[in-house]
Amino acid sequence: MTVTLPVSGSDMATVLDCQRASFLNEEPSNIADRKFQLKRLRAAVLTYRRELAEAVSADFGHRSHHETDILEVLCVVQAIDYLNRNLRRFMRKDRRHVGLFYRAGRAYVEYQPKGVIGVMSPWNYPFSLTIIPLATALAAGNRVMLKPSELTPCTSDVIQRMITGTFPPEEVAVVLGGPEVGATFSGLPFDHILFTGSTPVGRKIMKAASDNLVPLTLELGGKSPTIVAKGHATRQTLDSIVFGKLSNGGQTCIAPDYALVHEEDLKTFITEFEASVARFYPDGPTSRDYTSIINDHHYERLKGLVEDVRTSGARIIETGLMPDDAPQQLRTLPPTLVVEVGDDAEIMREEIFGPILPVRTYRSIKEVIDYVNARPRPLALYYFGAQDADCGELLARTTSGNVGINNTLMHFAQDDLPFGGVGPSGMGAYHGIEGFRSMSHAKGIFIQGKWNLTSLLRAPFGNIANLALKVMLRSHDPH
Ligand code: NAD
């Protein structure tokens, strides 16, 4: 059974009931079952690779197949392989310490599948942000219901066909639809929800989940600062910033949102930025590897952010502009620097999610730390410079989901690192053992030994209990 539009709340509830019944009535999945599911998923991803690249490009207006291969397919395959390789270790019972008075008992933690996991995903990486959570949930032995974004209908269609052709619906099902379907979906009594999307919608999801006390992983957005240490506005730094900012047309949750550059380096930063853009995208916004903005709404929003600051006197540098008669690509904006913009401007208050990089200058690391700490805790923070005292201070005194040093985006590809935000940028994490554990119930089990000291502490209390207490408290008998 695959559920397609229009879908009613009762349809979704039926799918959930069916998955839960299957989870409860069938044999608990063992390592071989899980590896088999991961293997099938991996093969399906590769089978649909070409179709997927075309679907994503159709959804965006234009996205290069290479970008989809690298940022969606490769990430997914790498994550599946990592889960496969580490599954035995992840599933292993975890022996825990037993206090002296409880010996010879045994204590351990067993990581049990939670049951049915609901996965809700956004449009910007519509495939990988649906399939990596799915792989994690399957590795942890769960059933899964997926709710991909309505803004990428071609990709969602590929996901639906891929899943239907690979898994029976009592194992994995796909529900399609927009905010209304999402609202009903998030109100279902799942055993866990993993939501990836915006912070405002994340709040709604948390409210809906609270009715059933469903535990949540929230992967949200925000403004990720990028700090360039004095003397580090080099070609290498700017190549990395341009890669992080312009991949997927800037529509990346962990893209550098704004840059903080030492005041003495501003000129070099701008020159190197323009040079990097020219190397990566020689035909500017008409380059074949430059991704379009997802829809008119976001295109107009981004243009509005720039127009808003144009009138405020900030310096706007649009790079790679082509003559008006150059063949235009649908909904592309030139890579744009906005230099020394005021903090009140909309562009410094909302997540940009496009190829625009505000640049502010600073004098001391203290100023940078105060600036970051005066704002909501970001999903990612990037630092370019030596691993020196300033770097140490920045790391110790700011809190962000993750940190990249001398790189952007690459922490997402480190499968062994937990990935997630903190506070307004998210809650909980996936990837790494943390991902496996977030979709498992850590069940603590204590097995009583034949004899232990606490068995002497039972009524009626008398001399034996006093003696036992004396030993346990290592004190004199108060009586
Ligand atoms: P979104 O919050 O609008 O949508 C995400 C999902 O929620 C979609 O499936 C959508 O259908 C559903 N939804 C939308 N409105 C809803 C409602 N009222 N009730 C229930 N469900 C609803 O996010 P988006 O625009 O698709 O994605 C962009 C945002 O996602 C950005 O803020 C970005 O930073 C964030 N993001 C975060 C990560 C991460 O890993 N932390 C990754 C990618 C994107």
Please confirm, yes or no, whether 219 is among the known catalytic residues.
yes
pLDDT band per the 50, 70, 90 thresholds, residue 4: very low
Residue 137 structure tokens: 């949930």
For ligand 1, atom 16: residue with the closest CA: 179
Q: Is the CB of 424 under 6 A from ligand 1?
A: no
pLDDT band per the 50, 70, 90 thresholds, residue 448: very high
Q: Is the CB of 426 under 6 A from ligand 1?
A: yes
pLDDT at 212: 97
- 225-420, CATH topology level: Aldehyde Dehydrogenase; Chain A, domain 2 (3.40.309)
* DSSP label at residue 103: T
CA atoms of 54 and 242, how far apart (whole Å): 25
Dihedral (Cα; 232, 234, 239, 244), 10-degree rounding = 20
pTM for the complete prediction? 0.95
Peptide bond into 6 cis (omega under 30): yes
- Segment 89-142, tens digit of pLDDT: 999 999 999 998 898 899 999 999 999 999 999 999 999 999 999 999 999 999
Q: Is the CB of 219 under 6 A from ligand 1?
A: yes
**DSSP E strand stretches across 148-267:** 172-174, 192-196, 216-219, 224-228, 256-262
Atom of ligand 1 nearest to the CA of 425: 41
CA of 147 to the centre of ligand 1 (A): 11
- Decide if 333 contacts 299 (C-beta within 8 A): yes
Residue 437 structure tokens: 């554990």
Residue 70 structure tokens: 């690298």
**DSSP E strand stretches across 312-376:** 315-318, 336-339, 356-362
For the cut 80, the answer to whether the pLDDT of residue 300 exceeds it is: yes
Which one, of 55, 132, 84, 407, lies nearest residue 242 by Cα? 407
Neighbours of 374 (CB within 10 A): 8
CA of 399 to the centre of ligand 1 (A): 23
Give the three-state DSSP class for 440.
strand
Residue 216 structure tokens: 């949540």
Which one, of 290, 197, 283, lies nearest residue 242 by Cα? 290
Question: What's the CATH number for 9-220+429-441?
Answer: 3.40.605.10
- Segment 365-374, tens digit of pLDDT: 999 999 999 9
Atom of ligand 1 nearest to the CA of 178: 11
Neighbours of 475 (CB within 10 A): 9
CA atoms of 239 and 384, how far apart (whole Å): 12
Q: Is the CB of 449 under 6 A from ligand 1?
A: no
Atom of ligand 1 nearest to the CA of 420: 41
Which one, of 197, 199, 210, lies nearest residue 150 by Cα? 197
For ligand 1, atom 35: residue with the closest CA: 197
- Segment 142-175, tens digit of pLDDT: 999 999 999 999 999 999 999 999 999 999 999 9
CA of 198 to the centre of ligand 1 (A): 4
Identified catalytic residue from 170, 219, 272, 351: 219
pLDDT at 455: 85
CA of 221 to the centre of ligand 1 (A): 9
Q: Is the CB of 182 under 6 A from ligand 1?
A: yes
CA atoms of 64 and 291, how far apart (whole Å): 7
For ligand 1, atom 43: residue with the closest CA: 253
Q: Is the CB of 171 under 6 A from ligand 1?
A: no
Q: Is the CB of 157 under 6 A from ligand 1?
A: no
Burial 136-173 (b: 16+ CB within 10 A, else e): bbbbbbbbbbbbbbbbbbbbbbbbbebbeebbebbbbb
For the cut 50, the answer to whether the pLDDT of residue 191 exceeds it is: yes
CA atoms of 144 and 134, how far apart (whole Å): 7
Cα end-to-end span (Å), the chain: 71
Q: Is the CB of 354 under 6 A from ligand 1?
A: no
Q: Is the CB of 421 under 6 A from ligand 1?
A: yes
pLDDT at 2: 43
Q: Is the CB of 123 under 6 A from ligand 1?
A: yes
Please confirm, yes or no, whether 393 is among the known catalytic residues.
no
Beta-bridge mates of residue 3:
175
Q: Is the CB of 197 under 6 A from ligand 1?
A: yes
For ligand 1, atom 39: residue with the closest CA: 219
CA atoms of 334 and 299, how far apart (whole Å): 12
Task: Report, as an integer, the average pLDDT of 63-83.
Answer: 98
CA of 150 to the centre of ligand 1 (A): 10
CA of 122 to the centre of ligand 1 (A): 4
Identified catalytic residue from 72, 170, 253, 391: 253
Atom of ligand 1 nearest to the CA of 177: 11
List the chain domain ranges: 9-220+429-441, 225-420, 449-475
CA of 201 to the centre of ligand 1 (A): 6
Q: Is the CB of 194 under 6 A from ligand 1?
A: no
Task: Report, as an integer, the average pLDDT of 268-297.
Answer: 96
- Segment 229-276, tens digit of pLDDT: 999 999 999 999 999 999 999 999 999 999 999 999 999 999 999 999
CA of 151 to the centre of ligand 1 (A): 10
pLDDT at 476: 54
- Segment 395-420, tens digit of pLDDT: 999 999 999 999 999 999 999 999 99
* DSSP label at residue 72: I
pLDDT > 90: percent of the chain: 88
CA atoms of 243 and 252, how far apart (whole Å): 11
pLDDT at 6: 39
Domains 9-220+429-441 and 225-420 share a fold: no
If you search the block for the tokens 């009583």, which residue do you land on? 448
